Amino acid sequence: MLTASDSRDVEMIAEQLAAGVAEEEITQMLVDSGRSRGEAADLVRSVVDAESESVPLVEVYRRKMISGALWAIGGVAVTAITYEAARDGGVYIIAWGAMLFGAWDFIRGLFGYLGCSEAEVDVSCSNQME
């Protein structure tokens, strides 16, 4: 579990990496602030590994839009197919749940995507919305 000190250091490491500072220099900064070399190197390595596995925020929103559109289209398709099958009398399904969920997911993704500024496009998040 991360302590408050670890959280501040992780934030500092991420900022330094984004600024292009070498891992060894960041490790030395942590050593200078009182951490052991091994502990500092492990912390830097864990942040580097976490960043390499993260998904850009704009991609998370794009996936939301695609997923939402597929759910909504699927709901409309089920409704249309069952309605057509029941044309001469019978029961049909209105898949309003799939349509509503899909529309909601699409709208969340769209507003998130449109809300991303140019600076945020390169920002990574660790699957916050998934």
For the segment 54-70, what is each residue's pLDDT rounded down to a tens digit?
667 788 888 999 999 99
Q: Is the pLDDT of residue 77 over 70?
A: yes
Residue 129 has pLDDT above 60, yes or no: no
Query: Is residue 8 very low, low, confident or very high in pLDDT (cuts 50, 70, 90)?
Result: confident
Q: For 32-43, what is the mean pLDDT?
A: 88
Q: Answer for the pair 18, 76: CB distance below 8 angstroms, yes or no.
A: no
How far from chain centre, in Å, is Cα 11?
18
In the DSSP assignment, the letter for residue 67 is H
Average pLDDT, the chain: 82
55: enclosing H helix or E strand:
strand 55-56
Res 113: pLDDT: 85
- Of 25 and 4, the structure prediction assigns the larger pLDDT to 25
User: Alpha carbon 15 to chain centroid distance?
Assistant: 19
CB-based burial of residue 128 (10 Å sphere; 0-12 exposed, 13-18 middle, 19+ buried)?
exposed
Whether 51 shows a pLDDT value over 60: the answer reads yes
